[in-house]
Structure 1
Amino acid sequence: MRTPVLPYRQNLASCAALVNGAGLGQSWPIMRLPALLPAIAAFLALSVATSGAQTVLFPAPSGTSAREIVVYSSLDNDLAAPLLQAFQARHPDLAVRYDNLLTGELHERIVRETRQGTGTADFAFSSAMDLQIKLANDGFARAVVTPDTPDWPDWANWRDTAYALTFEPAVFAYHKPSFAGQEPPATRADLVRWIAGHPDQARGRIGTYDIARSGVGYLFMARDQELYPGIWSVVQAMGRAGVQQFPTSSALLERISDGRLAIGYNLLGSYAADWARRHPDVGLILPRDFTVVVSRVALVPAAARHPELGAELLSFLMSPEGQTLLSRTLRLSAVSLEVAGQQSPAGGMQDLAGLRLKPVPVSPGLLAYLDQATRAKLLARWTEAISGR
């Protein structure tokens, strides 16, 4: 039996806050989304929480709905709302059912519903790049060509079935008061030197993801291992300093904001930037030696009940308007070359010029991260290094 649906009103204040600038150790200009806030103010939704899932229903703005699009996504409701409202402004008779799922549950639900023959979501959007590529590779996604497909970067498109829509760097987040009078580490070598030079300040005050429980944390570390031969000496140094591990970004950022942690390693940039905007003691640094970049990947499931609606939403989010909204809402640089070329530093996280950006390609190469033997080997090496050995 389905859990009862409970009344839920979208928090206008949190939606309005999304369109204000975020700080990276500096003040950002205020950015607003014209004509969007009145729609949000009038928005009444319904919500249900089951296991790790939450469903939000966005009624058609016109008040009458002949169609409904179903979206499965791992993007938080507050961040998704402006995007979906803007899409509905183009389609005022369209209602949206938004299922906010854990990445593993999103993947499993699409596979299960496809095999049951009941139909599944019309659009899927997830931060688990490897699981999204597995869906596409295993035949659970359909090819969709949008007006922007011909100009989409090659690394961000796999066979027109899976598209990277965001550009999310792994960042260092730090407690500004803890680094008063000194520069926080800007490279991995800097981090090791800071640990060695400030043992009392570093002891127990470094945080990172628990890569056994955090999918994005695991992906970041796997990429670090591929790109940086000295990564295990960095992990050993953090381990000797009593590094703390957490499964979520919010757990890390809460402790950085109040000073329990001095610095966080390899945090997902979208959440860190939003937290920094709301907590002035949190600063961010994009590592200067190299910056791993991951993406949220979108696809239209092969068994979508209304694939034409999924294709419409994909086209919107790949359009200059959609990419600008994604950039402003998530405080990230756009994947779209057209939008990225027009952005000021305030349009994304900061000026990316001069950084060694290392985006994770949307390709079957991601499937290697799902190999159980490869995963077990990396986790064993992590456990050994984090113990300081």
Structure 2
Amino acid sequence: MFPAPSGETDTELSIYSSLDDDRAEIILSAFQRRHPEIAIRYENLLTGDLHRRIVEETDAGTGTTDFAFSSAMDLQVKLANDGYARPVVTADTPTWPDWANWRDTAYALTFEPAVFAYHRPSFAQADPPATRADLMRWMAENPDKAQGRIGTYDISRSGVGYLFMARDQELYPGIWQVVAAMGRAGVQQFPTTSELLERISDGRLAIGYNLLGSYTAEWARQHPDLGLILPRDFTVVVSRVALIPAGAKRPDLGAEFLAYLMSNEGQTLLSRTLRLSAVSLEVAGQQSPAGGMQDLAGLRLKPVPVSPGLLAYLDQSTRARLLARWNEAISGR
């Protein structure tokens, strides 16, 4: 609970989010400086729980949160597609990128690339791979250095890892040769970004494939032996998606908070303070839209659009087919 700075109010904004508490606190405090009369009830939830609670509370007619912010793009779009979100137009809606806005009900607010992370001392004598072809070549030419020292997400347990791989499959016909080569090199799989980054920064792993760029950039700031590269062949970009639930008790407050995060100030705060990258083209023009990770000039950026196309990733038969192909490739066959 974040009490109203003014000390006298019965105005309370409810937020459900998958953003870590320490990062959220910075945003909430900045918002309250502009709106000292508003108290905020913030709940940090797993993405699946966030989706379930909004559906259940709305269906029960008891009212639900005023603002939902989640890294599960597919689940957020499902809420909007199924009628659990209301359209909201802010001052920045007219200039928001088309890929980042679905029917004014679901807005992408961050711009988070999938990156290669690497252990700098392990590449002291050679450049680290910058493309998928480079990665294949490095594994083939350095079997001793590569064996057991490549890491990636366990896509059966990591939602963002699954989304990255699904997009890889759509964008790159040779992806399964890459996965098979990683499998032959004894790739290590982990469900969370932090587990991968910890092992890369201390040298247990030499390189990590398709890691979430926002967390990797922050980790690299604090661990000088860890470096990151935005792939030069193509870079998949995912986003955290915001919406105002149809059953919100105070949709006006939710809309006010959404407008703040879409504003120049809010986008700058997301990008610079939290190392989450800005969607806003105005903010992106002032700095790297990768939140300071590196200049994106010349990169082939492939954002995942906020659209009903994301619902295909929730289809159980589609998921089963992708996981089966992943397991077959990772076994080296």
Q: Does 1:370 align with 2:295?
A: no
Post-superposition CA distance 1:275-303 (Å, at most 9, x none): 11111111000000000000000000000
- When residues 347 and 231 of structure 1 are mapped into structure 2, their CA distance, relative to the original with a 3 A threshold, is closer
CA distance in 2, matches of 1:188, 1:329: 31
Q: What is residue 212 of structure 1 aligned with on the other side?
A: 156
Counterparts in 2 of 1:312 and 1:345: CA distance versus 1, 3 Å: closer
How many Å separate the matches in 1 of 2:88 and 2:62?
22
Matched, 1:103 2:47: yes
Change in Cα spacing, 1:287 to 1:344, as seen in structure 2 (3 Å) is closer
SS of the aligned residue for 1:264 comes to strand
Find the counterpart in structure 1 of residue 144 from structure 2: 200
Instruction: Tell me how far 1:332 sits from its aligned partner.
Output: 4.1
2:171 equivalent in structure 1: 227
- Given candidates 214, 219, 226, the residue that maps to 1:282 is 226
Q: Which residue of 1 aligns with 2:107?
A: 163
Q: CA RMSD in A?
A: 1.1
**Alpha carbons 2:64, 2:245 under 8 Å: kept:** yes
The answer for the alignment partner of 2:247 in structure 1 is 303
Give the Å deviation of 1:345: 7.6
Number of equivalences: 333
SS at match of 1:125: strand
Q: TM-score scaled by structure 2?
A: 0.98
Distance 1:361 1:319 in 2: 20
SS at match of 1:261: coil
Deviations 1:221-255 (A, max 9, x none): 00000000000000000000110111101111111
2:162 and 2:289 mapped to 1: Cα distance?
Answer: 29
Aligned counterpart for 1:273 among listed residues 200, 217, 220: 217
Query: Which residue matches 2:330?
Result: 386
The one-letter amino acid paired with 1:136 is: A
- Taking structure 1 as reference, are residues 336 and 345 closer, same or farther at Cα in structure 2, changes over 3 Å only? closer
Conserved? CA contact 1:332–1:349, under 8 Å = no
1:329 to 273, 295, 314: 273
Gaps of 5+ in 2: none
Q: Secondary structure at the match of 2:236?
A: strand
One-letter amino acid of the structure 2 residue matched with residue 269 of structure 1: G
Mapped contact 1:124–1:300 kept (Cα < 8 A): yes
The CA distance in 2 between the partners of 1:332 and 1:346, in whole Å, is 8
Alignment of 1:1-389 (within 5 A): 57-343=1-287, 347-389=291-333
- CA distance in structure 2 between the partners assigned to 1:128 and 1:115 by the alignment: 21
- For the residues of structure 1 that align with 2:217 and 2:313, how far apart are their CA atoms? 27
Q: How far apart are the structure 2 equivalents of 1:238 and 1:269?
A: 20
SS at match of 1:146: coil
Contact preservation (8 Å) 2:278, 2:289: no
Q: Are the structure 2 counterparts of residues 355 and 363 from structure 1 closer, same or farther at C-alpha, using a change threshold of 3 Å?
A: same
Return structure 1 stretches of 4+ with deviation > 3 angstroms.
344-348
Q: Match of 1:194, as an amino acid?
A: W
Query: Partners in 1 of 2:320 and 2:156 — Cα distance?
Result: 9
Which amino acid counterpart does residue 87 of structure 2 have in structure 1?
Answer: A
Q: Return the offset for 1:347.
A: 5.0
Matching residue's letter, 1:351:
D
Q: Is the 8 A contact 1:333 1:349 kept in 2?
A: no
Unaligned runs of 5+ in 1: 1-56
One-letter identity of the residue aligned with 1:149: T
In 1, distance between residues paired with 2:296 and 2:290?
Answer: 11
CA distance in 1, matches of 2:286, 2:202: 36
Give the TM-score taking structure 1 as reference length. 0.84
- Could you tell me which amino acid in structure 2 is paired with residue 268 of structure 1? L
Residue identity opposite 2:58 in structure 1: T
- The alpha-carbon deviation at position 65 of structure 1 amounts to 2.9
> In 1, distance between residues paired with 2:271 and 2:170?
28
CA contact (8 A) 2:278 2:290 kept: no
Bigger mean CA offset, 174-183 vs 287-296: 174-183
Instruction: Describe the SS at the equivalent of 2:26.
Output: helix
3-state SS, counterpart of residue 342 of structure 1: coil
Alpha-carbon contact 2:183-2:329 (below 8 Å) kept: yes
1:19 maps to what in 2?
none
